[in-house]
């Protein structure tokens, strides 16, 4: 796995998240969480249907997950208002849909994203109430999900806007486990790049 490489220093470089570009270790922990919960814990994500919902435009998490989940064989759909879908997203290995209710009945996992208002220099939707009505995951909308599907969120959450309190704290939400898995996954990345990589292992530092 080619995690990071810098041509001008002799050392391991780990991207811990760069602006609105990518966040590789978050995608790794998200994929690990899905592997633990779906397909009987067997780890095969091939054919898995994942919806990433919300502020795709400003999300490094969405970008890294789109590429990693596609690499692992999953089918990814981005769901957001047209104003929050990045220019050029049609070149990503994903589908794009603007209707959350249309997508939810057909997914194994739904990943809700925070609206990053601090990065916005203009109005991308009429109001937070309108956004929540169209793209928020509340109890009524969660009932559209298949029985064994799971709910993820990279955090921090804006409860009541993109996700309801009852949904964030429900048995179907694996958000706290994502946090715990983040520690394990990032420890593994540090181990591989700093001390555990072996010649010919495929890990480049």
- CATH number for 36: 3.40.50.1370
Q: What is the pTM of this model?
A: 0.86
Side-chain-side CA neighbours of residue 120 (13 Å): 14
Residue 121 lies in a domain: yes
Looking at per-residue pLDDT, the higher value among 49 and 192 belongs to 49
Q: Percentage of the chain with pLDDT > 70?
A: 82
Residue 79 lies in a domain: yes
Of 8-12, 36-40, 165-169, the least confident: 8-12
The token pair that represents 159 in the structure block: 């409860």
CB 95 within 8 A of CB 55: no
Between CA 155 and CA 96 the distance in angstroms is 22
Residue 198 lies in a domain: no
Residue 199 lies in a domain: no
Q: Tell me, what's the pLDDT at 1?
A: 41
Residue 64 lies in a domain: yes
In terms of residue numbers, what domain contains 173?
2-192
Work out whether strand 109-112 and strand 95-97 pair parallel, antiparallel, or are unpaired. Answer: unpaired
Residue 173 lies in a domain: yes
CB 109 within 8 A of CB 50: yes
Residue 52 lies in a domain: yes
Residue 200 lies in a domain: no
Number of domain units in the chain:
1
Residue 135 CA: distances (Å) to CA of 47, 51, 103, 132: 24, 12, 11, 5
- pLDDT, one tens digit per residue, over 102-125 is 999 999 999 999 987 665 555 766
Between CA 173 and CA 175 the distance in angstroms is 6
């Amino acid at each position: 796995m080619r995690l990071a490489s810098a041509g001008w220093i002799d050392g391991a470089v780990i991207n811990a998240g760069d602006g609105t570009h990518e966040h590789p270790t978050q995608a790794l922990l998200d994929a690990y969480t899905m592997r633990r919960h779906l397909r009987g814990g067997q780890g095969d994500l091939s054919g898995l249907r994942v919806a990433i919902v919300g502020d795709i435009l400003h999300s490094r998490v969405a970008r890294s997950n789109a590429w990693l989940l596609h690499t692992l064989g999953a089918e990814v759909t981005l769901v957001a208002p047209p104003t929050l879908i990045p220019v050029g997203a049609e070149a990503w290995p994903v589908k794009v849909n603007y209707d959350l209710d249309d997508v939810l009945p057909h997914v194994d996992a739904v990943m809700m994203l925070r609206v990053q208002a601090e990065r916005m220099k203009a109005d991308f939707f009429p109001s937070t109430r309108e956004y929540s009505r169209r793209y928020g995951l509340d109890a009524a909308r969660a009932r559209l999900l298949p029985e064994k599907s799971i709910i993820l969120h990279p955090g921090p959450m804006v409860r009541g806007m993109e996700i309801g309190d009852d949904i964030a704290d429900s048995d179907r939400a694996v958000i706290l486990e994502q946090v715990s898995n983040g520690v394990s996954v990032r420890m593994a990345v540090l181990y591989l790049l700093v001390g555990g990589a072996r010649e010919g292992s495929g890990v480049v530092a």
